[in-house]
């Protein structure tokens, strides 16, 4: 039995790297720093260690050979999930390039709200250490932040010391749209977050008014979607008076059509605020390799991870290259599902030939043609994963000897077998 | 295997060879002397009449790291103009302004380049820089780690720590980030922008720390020198792009008091305020100062007309320049109490007065600086233009008639404001070889690259001599990387993976005490998780590290 400290997590997206882990054989127990997201992800037991073809245990070599044979004469295979580490994505993109596949990260439909805004007008963003040391006002839009990342407040807002703030408990937390599910946003001095609630799908209207108020445009209405304009004016004034305001949202939580316009309005509002003071966006993400997929696909192809190689070169389309669309429309003719982090994230139902490169412990309603259990980056092998703020790639540690291959090993082997 | 390159006309400034016919022998990846006695040549290339140089080295090119990837993600419409198909040996990707990593490697190699150095590696983003560069085939690479706006250094200065403490921190950071040099960008300005300062002149104080850019330049340039790092402090100065910044640049040269200093993309820092449009060339004054001060080296950061994207650590100046974004979209980031970045797409137009004069200022600088060992050929890829425009730039430098033909087409007011037409100088092949090979290797401290004498690695480029220098330099006959033939007739024929060049200056290990406390209190990562291990650079089975000797004092 050994204990390992300063363990980084690839699961929570906020770069927690102070976990203490106890390893007993292949059993992991989280001793310190756990949370509702990280603890079950680290403690997930290994079940399968043997690959299967049509439900029968086979050697890794045989499983790889069968996967390659299923992909051999396909016209438009889709590689979905894309939940792995940097080396896993490298292998995935090499395979996709060779077989002319579509690459589609499973969180892309949510992330698309950010990418469309970014690619249309850009933004001004910040990272977690700046939040920790500078943020005096945090506006949380349409997102239950503590459910997204339970340790966010403890690590980045209620830290006891900050370089540029006398007293971090004076930080002003404002929720717009969705109310928090718990009390983690309450300051150590007892001050509760301000909450202005509205239905999530009303956010476009509310945010548009807020931006107008920041710009000093007159608003005739006295209320918008149940929020008084006077209250919104107070938020606008707070952001304008802040030294280093931060606006955060989870793109996937803005679950309505054209939510990219909300991200864009927020981002343009932030730019306006920077005419006189400082303010930055902080998009929440980084779960199950989504930032990793987009970063690696970015430098390998120029585009984020919803890109196809079917014409011999990368083509990005944030709508048409959606795995679910391709399956429903009958365009795809094989599915590879890559998910090294989460056993509950199984491939979408399909009758197509299906290959799953998945975390050991995954169970299926319908047995895939090929299942290759792989190790989890940061547990079974070393690797790299990006956190939510896209700048920091964390170095993941190997914690135990499970003998499970890495995603990268398996995908490289399939590519070699093609 | 013994390879013989027979009868080529060799330009090897590192050995003082200027266009002499010579044979070159290659064995086990390195250049060797002609073997004694009887020997068997396994493969011979007849290079009679061909021009032979070592592989070119780009000493300042943004090829790895977060801001470049933001630039990629920002510009899908640019990539769609230049899709790159996969082949049996090469990967697919995209080209033009900010090419994908694989295409970066292929296209550099196809122009005869065998190494490129990323000049702006943020310590906190160094992993990404190295991971991206690990996916650039063929080229050797390396990075200059960026300091000067990081809160740790500014705290050391405010606390009046001595030069040894600074040196230890700089050396430790180079180790942790696997760097070969040190860069400073808008010294302290990126930090000041986080405190809502919008400009920071050489002697202006950071509103929180009270530290000036001059203070920062002084301690960092001293640290680099005292640590024995070859590449002088790599300086992106104050006031980038601001009319009148020529004076800041001259003051910066004066103020460094003889310490070695490299001023990068100096074109963007050579502007006067004369004329009706209050924008003029300061190239003559800057060149004169460079000629006079032998401690100064520069690279130009030439702009060339067309669409590109600017990606810089200088969040303060990039934010100020966002009104010029074309297409109109841009990104800035504050980063981890470490640095920042700004990404602004630009379209340089020959009929825009300012852009046209920027073009002329860069060329004036090239032609007025006398010593080719102290000036380097760059476009600050992709900021002034994509690196693929180098052959065109070489033609502008080597062919006065061509240069004047282009000059006669640019904005007429810009033509009046430049002395370019009166400058007769044409660069020679030897001078091009100095700027792009021997000089670059010497500057960075690559002890066995950039030359063709025995003992050097066999990075060799072979061209067909052509009066049209653009045609000549865009399509080498052969390129060898570590002795392996990787390009024939301007096309990649085989893949090789280059090494990462680093330098490892000594430091007192007790430096980690203060750092650990700082990381625990203020940063978001444990000190132990911050440092990049050697394994990380090599575990993919392709990467390797090459540590070069320090300067002996």
Q: What is the ipTM of this complex?
A: 0.98
Q: How far is CA B217 from CA B101, B148, B157, B202, B453, in A?
A: 32, 8, 12, 9, 37
Cβ(B410)–Cβ(B396) under 8 Å? no
Q: CATH 3.40.228.10 region(s) of chain A?
A: 111-284
Backbone CA torsion sign across A132, A137, A142, A146: positive
DSSP state of A377: B
B92–A132: do the CB atoms touch at under 8 Å? no
pLDDT of residue B261: 98
A313–B151: do the CB atoms touch at under 8 Å? no
A132–B524: do the CB atoms touch at under 8 Å? yes
Whether the CB of A4 is below 8 Å from some CB of chain B: the reply is no
Instruction: Please tell me the distance from the alpha carbon of residue B210 to that of residue B270, in angstroms, as a whole number.
Output: 27
Among A87, A121, A243, select the one facing B329 at the smallest CB separation. Answer: A121
Instruction: Please tell me the distance from the alpha carbon of residue A347 to that of residue A307, in angstroms, as a whole number.
Output: 19
Cβ(B149)–Cβ(B188) under 8 Å? yes
Contact residues, chain A, for B74 at CB < 8 Å: 118-119, 122
A301–B92: do the CB atoms touch at under 8 Å? yes
Q: How far is CA A402 from CA A50, A322, A375, B533, B545, in A?
A: 12, 34, 8, 23, 30
How many interchain CB pairs under 8 A, A with B?
184
pLDDT of residue B540: 85
Backbone CA torsion sign across B367, B372, B376, B378: positive
Instruction: Please tell me the distance from the alpha carbon of residue B79 to that of residue B86, in angstroms, as a whole number.
Output: 15
Substitution target from B70, B73, B124, B154 for chain A, most A beta carbons within 10 A:
B73
Whether the CB of A365 is below 8 Å from some CB of chain B: the reply is no
Among A17, A243, A300, select the one facing B525 at the smallest CB separation. Answer: A17
Contact residues, chain B, for A134 at CB < 8 Å: 194
pLDDT of residue B488: 98
The pLDDT of residue A96 is above 90 = yes
Whether the CB of B335 is below 8 Å from some CB of chain A: the reply is yes
B85–A313: do the CB atoms touch at under 8 Å? yes
Domain locations in chain B as residue ranges? 53-492
Instruction: Please tell me the distance from the alpha carbon of residue B221 to that of residue A46, in angstroms, as a whole number.
Output: 54
Of all residues in chain B, the one with the smallest CA distance to A294 is B73
Q: Which long-range contacts (CB under 8 A, 24 or more apart) does A156-161 make?
A: A156/A14, A156/A128, A156/A131, A156/A132, A156/B524, A157/A131, A157/A132, A158/A187, A158/A188, A159/A132, A161/B521, A161/B522
Cβ(B355)–Cβ(B278) under 8 Å? no
Contact residues, chain A, for B151 at CB < 8 Å: 133, 163
Q: Which percentage of chain A shows pLDDT scores above 70?
A: 100
Whether the CB of A295 is below 8 Å from some CB of chain B: the reply is yes
- Determine the CATH number of domain A111-284: 3.40.228.10
Q: Residue B327, preceding bond cis, omega within 30 degrees?
A: yes
| Cα distance between the two ends of chain B | 39
Among A163, A299, A393, select the one facing B522 at the smallest CB separation. Answer: A163
Cβ(B369)–Cβ(B300) under 8 Å? no
Cβ(B279)–Cβ(B243) under 8 Å? yes
Architecture of the domain defined by A47-107+288-417:
3-Layer(aba) Sandwich (3.40)
Whether the CB of B279 is below 8 Å from some CB of chain A: the reply is no
What distance separates the 2 farthest-apart alpha carbons in chain B? 73
The pLDDT of residue A65 is above 90 = yes
Among B83, B131, B337, select the one facing A313 at the smallest CB separation. Answer: B83
Cβ(A281)–Cβ(B331) under 8 Å? no
pLDDT per residue as tens digits for the range A119-170: 999 999 999 999 999 999 999 999 999 999 999 999 999 999 999 999 999 9
Q: Which percentage of chain A shows pLDDT scores above 90?
A: 100
pLDDT of residue B552: 84
Architecture of the domain defined by B53-492:
Alpha-Beta Barrel (3.20)
Instruction: Please tell me the distance from the alpha carbon of residue A359 to that of residue A339, in angstroms, as a whole number.
Output: 6
B76–A309: do the CB atoms touch at under 8 Å? no
Q: How far is CA A368 from CA A171, A355, B20, in A?
A: 50, 6, 67
Q: What are phi and psi of B353, to 5 degrees?
A: -55, -50
A278–B151: do the CB atoms touch at under 8 Å? no
Helices (H), B297-389: 315-320, 353-368
Contact residues, chain B, for A391 at CB < 8 Å: 66, 122, 124-125, 128, 333, 335-336
Pairing of strands B261-263, B140-146: unpaired
pLDDT per residue as tens digits for the range B240-293: 999 999 999 999 999 999 999 999 999 999 999 999 999 999 999 999 999 999
Min Cα–Cα distance to chain B from A93, Å: 10
Q: What is the pTM of this model?
A: 0.98
Substitution target from A260, A299, A387, A394 for chain B, most B beta carbons within 10 A:
A299
pLDDT of residue B541: 87
Contact map slice: B 148-207 vs A, CB within 8 A: 151, 193-196
Instruction: Please tell me the distance from the alpha carbon of residue A31 to that of residue A21, in angstroms, as a whole number.
Output: 5
User: Tens place of pLDDT for every residue, chain B, 553 residues?
Assistant: 999 999 999 999 999 999 999 999 999 999 999 999 999 999 999 999 999 999 999 999 999 999 999 999 999 999 999 999 999 999 999 999 999 999 999 999 999 999 999 999 999 999 999 999 999 999 999 999 999 999 999 999 999 999 999 999 999 999 999 999 999 999 999 999 999 999 999 999 999 999 999 999 999 999 999 999 999 999 999 999 999 999 999 999 999 999 999 999 999 999 999 999 999 999 999 999 999 999 999 999 999 999 999 999 999 999 999 999 999 999 999 999 999 999 999 999 999 999 999 999 999 999 999 999 999 999 999 999 999 999 999 999 999 999 999 999 999 999 999 999 999 999 999 999 999 999 999 999 999 999 999 999 999 999 999 999 999 999 999 999 999 999 999 999 999 999 999 999 999 999 999 999 999 999 999 999 999 999 999 988 899 999 999 998 6
A115–B522: do the CB atoms touch at under 8 Å? no
Of all residues in chain B, the one with the smallest CA distance to A314 is B93
């Amino acid at each position: 039995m050994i204990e390992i400290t300063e363990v980084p997590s690839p699961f929570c997206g906020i770069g927690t790297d102070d976990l203490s882990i106890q390893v007993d054989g292949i059993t992991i127990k989280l001793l310190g720093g756990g949370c509702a997201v990280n603890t079950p992800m680290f403690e997930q037991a290994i079940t399968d260690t043997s690959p299967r073809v049509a439900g029968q245990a086979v050697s890794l070599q045989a499983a790889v050979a069968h996967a390659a044979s299923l992909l051999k004469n396909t016209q438009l295979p889709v590689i979905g999930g894309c939940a792995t580490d940097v080396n896993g994505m490298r292998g995935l993109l090499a395979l996709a390039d060779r077989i002319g596949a579509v690459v589609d990260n499973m969180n892309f439909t949510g992330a698309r709200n950010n990418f469309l805004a970014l690619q249309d007008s850009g933004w001004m963003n910040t990272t977690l250490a700046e939040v920790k040391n500078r943020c005096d006002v945090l506006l949380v839009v349409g997102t239950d932040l503590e459910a997204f990342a339970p340790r966010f407040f403890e690590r980045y807002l209620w830290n006891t010391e900050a370089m540029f703030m006398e007293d971090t408990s004076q930080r002003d937390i404002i929720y717009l749209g969705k109310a928090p599910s718990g009390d983690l946003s309450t300051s150590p001095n007892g001050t509760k977050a301000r909450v202005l609630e509205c239905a999530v799908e009303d956010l476009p209207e509310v945010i548009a008014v807020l931006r107008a108020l920041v710009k000093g445009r007159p608003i005739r209405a006295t209320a918008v979607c149940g929020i008084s304009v006077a209250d919104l004016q107070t938020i606008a004034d707070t952001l304008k008076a802040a030294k280093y305001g931060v606006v955060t949202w989870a793109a996937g939580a803005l679950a309505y059509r054209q939510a990219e316009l909300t991200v864009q309005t927020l981002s343009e509002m932030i730019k306006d605020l920077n005419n006189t003071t400082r303010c930055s966006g902080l998009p929440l993400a980084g779960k199950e390799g989504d930032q990793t997929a987009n970063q690696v696909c970015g430098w390998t192809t120029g585009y984020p991870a919803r890109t196809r190689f079917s014409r011999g070169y990368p083509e990005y389309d944030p709508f048409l290259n959606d795995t679910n669309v391709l399956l429903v429309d009958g365009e795809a003719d094989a599915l590879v599902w890559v998910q090294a982090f989460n056993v509950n994230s199984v491939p979408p139902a399909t009758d197509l030939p299906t290959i799953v490169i998945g975390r050991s412990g995954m169970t299926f309603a319908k047995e895939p043609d090929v299942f290759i259990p792989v190790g989890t980056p940061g547990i079974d092998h070393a690797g790299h994963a990006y956190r939510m703020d896209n700048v920091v790639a964390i170095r993941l540690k190997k914690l135990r000897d499970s003998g499970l291959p890495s995603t990268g090993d398996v995908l490289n082997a399939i590519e070699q077998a093609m | 295997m013994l390879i013989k390159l027979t009868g080529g006309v060799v330009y090897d400034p590192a050995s003082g060879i200027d266009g002499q016919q010579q044979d070159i022998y290659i064995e086990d990846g390195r250049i060797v002397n002609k073997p004694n006695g009887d020997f068997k040549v396994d493969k011979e290339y007849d290079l009679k009449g061909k021009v032979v140089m070592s592989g070119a080295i780009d000493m300042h090119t943004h090829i790895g790291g977060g801001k470049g990837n933001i630039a990629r993600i920002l510009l899908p419409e640019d990539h769609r103009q230049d899709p790159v198909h996969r082949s049996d040996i090469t990967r697919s990707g995209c080209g033009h302004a900010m090419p994908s990593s694989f295409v970066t490697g292929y296209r550099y190699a196809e122009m005869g380049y065998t190494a490129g150095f990323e000049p702006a590696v943020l310590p906190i983003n160094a992993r990404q820089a190295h991971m991206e560069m690990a996916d650039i085939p063929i080229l050797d690479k390396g990075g200059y780690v960026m300091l000067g706006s990081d809160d740790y250094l500014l705290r050391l200065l405010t606390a009046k720590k001595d030069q040894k403490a600074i040196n230890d921190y700089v050396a430790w950071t180079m180790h942790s980030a696997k760097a070969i040099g040190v860069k400073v960008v808008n010294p302290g300005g990126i930090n000041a922008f986080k405190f809502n300062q919008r400009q920071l002149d050489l002697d202006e104080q950071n509103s929180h720390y009270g530290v000036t850019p001059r203070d920062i330049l002084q301690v960092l340039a001293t640290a680099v020198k005292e640590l024995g790092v070859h590449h002088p402090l790599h300086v992106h100065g104050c006031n980038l792009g601001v009319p009148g910044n020529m004076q800041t640049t001259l003051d910066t040269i004066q103020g460094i008091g003889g310490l070695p200093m490299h001023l990068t993309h100096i074109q963007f820092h050579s502007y006067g305020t004369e004329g009706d449009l209050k924008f003029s060339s300061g190239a003559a004054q800057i060149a004169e100062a460079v000629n006079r001060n032998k401690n100064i080296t520069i690279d130009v950061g030439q702009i060339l007309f067309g669409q590109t994207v600017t990606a810089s650590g200088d969040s303060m100046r990039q934010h100020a320049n966002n009104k010029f974004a074309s297409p109109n979209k841009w990104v800035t980031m504050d980063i981890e109490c470490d640095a920042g970045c700004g990404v602004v797409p630009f379209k340089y137009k020959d009929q825009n007065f300012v852009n046209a004069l920027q073009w002329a200022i860069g060329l004036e600088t090239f032609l007025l600086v006398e010593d080719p060992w102290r000036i380097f050929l760059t476009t600050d890829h992709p900021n002034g233009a994509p690196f693929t425009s180098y052959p065109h730039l070489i033609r502008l430098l080597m062919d006065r008639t061509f240069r004047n033909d282009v000059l006669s087409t640019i904005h007429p007011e810009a033509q009046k404001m430049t002395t370019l037409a009166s400058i007769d100088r044409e660069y020679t092949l030897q001078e091009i070889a100095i700027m792009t090979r021997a000089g670059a290797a010497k500057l960075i401290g690559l002890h066995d690259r950039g030359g063709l004498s025995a003992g050097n690695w066999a990075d060799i480029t072979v061209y067909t001599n052509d009066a049209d220098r653009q045609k000549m330099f865009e399509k080498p006959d052969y390129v060898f990387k570590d002795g392996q033939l990787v390009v024939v007739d301007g096309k990649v024929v085989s893949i090789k993976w280059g090494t990462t060049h680093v330098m490892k200056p000594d430091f007192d290990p007790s430096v980690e005490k203060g750092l650990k406390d700082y990381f625990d209190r203020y940063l978001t990562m444990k000190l132990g998780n911050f440092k990049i291990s050697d394994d990380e650079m090599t575990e993919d089975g392709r990467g390797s590290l090459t540590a070069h000797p320090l300067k002996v004092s």
